[in-house]
């Protein structure tokens, strides 16, 4: 082999050895795609003008509407969108606690079991939004900024409860959860 030929072979060998490293570096730079994060800086906020309500004495199977006198009134409470973007509002409840026996919140009533329903935007006098303790009901959607929504609830007492519950004060909580409306 001539000297020139040996030189060409050596150059080719060196190139063959270096090339993988160059390609590896290139692939490392290009391996990961870009991640795009989009954040909505809009502010969600709501208020509700009724925090407390005393139901009074209830008997088994009583149906009580949340209102001044316990009769049906779909404008008992008013939620207001005080943020700068439209929101959805979901509703969740809890068991009623106090005394020796708690009353569980459920779809239908039973012994030591009560139910709670809210009225919906679509049918303001129909109480068809189930208030659950294990999930969320849809109270209203796409509530605009500076807009109010009237709502109320219907309580149905247990079909039976223990005698030790008589004269006992019990409490529950209803939580309104707002999130940005995303069509």
Among positions 3, 34, 56, 167, the unique one binding another protein when judged by CB under 8 A: 34
Q: Whole-angstrom Cα distance, residue 180 to residue 183?
A: 10
The site map against another protein for 115-154 (x = CB under 8 A) is --------------------xx-x----------------
Among positions 47, 125, 164, 168, the unique one binding another protein when judged by CB under 8 A: 47
Q: Given the complex with another protein, which of 9 and 166 has the nearer CB atom? A: 9
Rg of the chain over Cα atoms, rounded to whole angstroms, equals: 32
The owner of tokens 């779809």 is 107
**Which tokens belong to 135?**
């999930």
Nearest alpha-carbon partner for 155 in 63, 71, 53: 63
How many residues bind to another protein according to rule CB under 8 A?
59
Nearest alpha-carbon partner for 81 in 52, 111, 28, 121: 121
Kindly list the residues in this chain that would bind another protein in the complex (CB under 8 A): 1-2, 5, 9, 12-13, 15-16, 19-20, 23-24, 27-48, 50-53, 77, 82-85, 88, 90, 135-136, 138, 171-180, 182
């Amino acid at each position: 082999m001539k000297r020139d030929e040996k030189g060409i072979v050596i150059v080719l060998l060196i190139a063959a050895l270096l090339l993988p490293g160059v390609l590896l570096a290139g692939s490392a730079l290009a391996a990961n795609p870009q991640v795009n994060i989009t954040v909505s800086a809009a502010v969600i906020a709501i208020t509700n003008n009724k925090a407390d309500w005393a139901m009074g004495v209830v008997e088994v199977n009583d149906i009580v509407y949340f209102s001044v006198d316990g009769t049906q009134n779909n404008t008992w409470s008013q939620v207001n969108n005080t943020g700068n973007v439209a929101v959805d509002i979901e509703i969740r409840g809890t068991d009623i606690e106090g005394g020796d026996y708690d009353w569980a919140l459920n779809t239908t009533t039973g012994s030591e079991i009560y139910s709670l329903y809210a009225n919906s935007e679509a049918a303001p006098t129909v109480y068809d939004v189930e208030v659950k303790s294990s999930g969320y009901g849809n109270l209203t959607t796409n509530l605009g900024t500076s807009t109010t929504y009237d709502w109320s609830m219907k309580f149905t007492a247990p079909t039976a409860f223990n005698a030790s519950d008589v004269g006992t004060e019990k409490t529950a909580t209803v939580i309104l959860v707002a999130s940005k409306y995303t069509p």
